[in-house]
């Protein structure tokens, strides 16, 4: 854990609407991460963005302080002005070494989430890591860290009641939507076919909603969700010409600029003037602020769920103690694993060195003597050397592990 560092921007210090300005478009994400990885000489890195946090997890021997973080974010997000960057830096949380590991474990167990007890964060963490792993941005250290992260989260969710009667941002948003008493044949436009909208669609299906149009940047994904819902599928461009009207819009995309502009919203209304509903779970919001200013809208967003989230935390408060005990135990186990791994890495060259010594002895130092032996003697010598070679490889590792155990 010596070189583990985390730069975190979360709902605890930053307004969710502002947090969205740090989100990086998925299309540019891999290239930007590779760029800053090389620029700052960072061995391993991955990036996590959810509806309530943006975090950069890295391994590096260099000091990661506010000055480093400022330069890092400047390189990563060139669209932030100086004042905005300073504001974000004042609200950044920086974790190092064991503190960073504790933070990752608490995050994976949802203890740091807006909605404590929601399990989505573990899946989000794993996807974020896997994306960067496939891009070659992580290595052995991050692999060990993530193994511990996943193991700890599963133990917390299994052995505590922290996720009993689970609620999530999606379920809370749906409760608010349901309170508006939309009829089952309400015309619902779903913008984005990612996990969040797929999850909220399950609630809609369960409660017999049946009139859907799905819009997504990748049409194939829109078609898949539309098929599940029995609706129509379109690409995002079709929003500009869609003329069948709507009663509610549910939107969650990874766009960094608003998708629902005043022009598009006006067009989607198709002449209707009544109050409509928008459920916008994107960070940053997919809905332009001007839409809410100019049109009558029931607007449901992540920020509006804060009060319910606080009540949820109070209800689960007693489970936090059990979860933190599991985290503490896993940290202790992980420290031991790291020590063993360091020994394994340090001893990795022992077999090669011993083979070199063996070959040098037979083929150079004692070459003449070996050549003078009869066939039976050579076979016995070969068996003795093979035996000695195996012992010389295994004994140092066993002794090193014994020393490690005795130290603890």
Alpha helices per DSSP H over 22-179: 26-39, 66-76, 82-91, 97-108, 120-134, 140-159, 169-178
Ligand-binding site membership of 195 (annotated): yes
Ligand-binding site membership of 168 (annotated): no
The separation between the first and the last C-alpha atoms of the chain, rounded to the nearest angstrom, is 18
Alpha helices per DSSP H over 348-374: 350-360, 367-371
C-alpha–C-alpha distance, residues 376 and 219, integer Å? 74
Ligand-binding site membership of 194 (annotated): yes
Nearest to residue 153, comparing CAs of 124, 114, 194, 132? 124
Query: Is 51 one of the annotated active-site residues of the chain?
Result: yes
CB burial string 69-90: b at 16+ within 10 A, e below: beebbeebbeebeeeeeeebbe
DSSP 268-326: HHTT--S-EEEEE--SS-SB-HHHHHHS-EEEEEGGGGHHHHHHHHHHTHHHHHHHHHH
Ligand-binding site membership of 50 (annotated): yes
Ligand-binding site membership of 197 (annotated): yes
Question: Which tokens is 272 given?
Answer: 């209707």
Number of DSSP helices (H) and strands (E) in the chain, helices first: 17, 10
Ligand-binding site membership of 307 (annotated): no
Ligand-binding site membership of 52 (annotated): yes
Burial grade of 347 (CB within 10 A; 0-12, 13-18, 19 or more) = middle
Nearest to residue 371, comparing CAs of 359, 363, 380, 382? 363
Number of Cβ within 10 Å of residue 54's Cβ equals: 24
C-alpha–C-alpha distance, residues 366 and 252, integer Å? 74
Ligand-binding site membership of 193 (annotated): yes
Alpha helices per DSSP H over 160-273: 169-178, 195-206, 219-229, 262-269
Ligand-binding site membership of 118 (annotated): yes
280 within 8 A of 299, measured Cβ to Cβ = yes
Ligand-binding site membership of 79 (annotated): no
Ligand-binding site membership of 135 (annotated): no
Give the active site residue among 25, 51, 109, 148: 51
Question: Which tokens is 67 given?
Answer: 């000055």
Question: Which residues belong to the annotated binding site for substrate?
Answer: 50-53, 113, 118-120, 124
Question: Which residues belong to the annotated binding site?
Answer: 50-53, 113, 118-120, 124, 192-197
Active site (catalytic) residues: 51
Question: Which residues belong to the annotated binding site for NADP(+)?
Answer: 192-197
């Amino acid at each position: 854990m010596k070189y583990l560092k985390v730069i975190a921007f979360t709902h605890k210090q930053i307004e969710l609407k502002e947090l969205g300005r740090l989100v990086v478009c998925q299309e540019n994400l891999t290239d930007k991460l590779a760029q800053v990885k090389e620029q700052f000489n960072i061995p391993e890195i991955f990036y996590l963005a959810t509806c309530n946090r943006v975090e950069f997890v890295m391994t590096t021997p260099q000091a990661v302080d506010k000055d480093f973080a400022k330069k890092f974010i400047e390189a990563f997000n060139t669209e932030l002005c100086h004042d905005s960057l300073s504001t974000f830096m004042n609200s950044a949380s920086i974790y190092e070494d064991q503190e960073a590991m504790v933070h990752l474990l608490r995050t994976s167990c949802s203890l740091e989430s807006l909605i404590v007890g929601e399990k989505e964060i573990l899946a989000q963490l794993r996807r974020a890591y896997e994306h960067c792993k496939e891009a070659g941005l992580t290595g052995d250290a991050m692999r060990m860290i993530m193994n511990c992260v996943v193991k700890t989260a599963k133990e917390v969710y299994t052995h505590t009641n922290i996720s009993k009667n689970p609620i999530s941002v999606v379920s809370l948003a749906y409760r608010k939507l349901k309170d508006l008493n939309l009829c089952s044949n309400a015309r619902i436009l779903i913008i984005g076919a990612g996990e969040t909208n797929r999850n909220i669609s399950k609630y809609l299906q369960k409660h017999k909603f049946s009139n859907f149009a799905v819009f997504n940047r990748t049409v194939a994904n829109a078609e898949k969700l539309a098929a599940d819902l029995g609706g129509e599928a379109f690409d995002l461009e079709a929003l500009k010409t869609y003329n069948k009207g709507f009663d509610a819009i549910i939107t969650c995309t990874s766009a960094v600029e608003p998708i629902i502009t005043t022009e598009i919203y006006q067009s989607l209304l198709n002449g209707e003037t009544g109050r409509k509903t928008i459920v916008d779970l994107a960070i940053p919001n997919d809905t332009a602020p001007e839409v809410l200013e100019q049109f009558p809208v029931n607007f449901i967003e992540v920020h509006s769920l804060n009060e319910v989230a606080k009540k949820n935390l109070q209800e689960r408060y007693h489970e936090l103690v059990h979860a933190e005990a599991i985290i503490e135990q896993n940290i202790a186990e992980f420290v031991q694993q790291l020590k063993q791994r360091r020994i394994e890495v340090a001893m990795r060259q022992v077999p090669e060195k011993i083979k070199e010594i063996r070959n040098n002895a037979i083929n150079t130092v004692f070459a003449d003597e070996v050549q003078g032996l009869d066939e039976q003697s050579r076979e016995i010598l070969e068996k003795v050397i093979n035996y000695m070679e195996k012992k010389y490889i295994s004994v140092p590792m066993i002794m090193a592990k014994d020393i490690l155990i005795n130290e603890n």
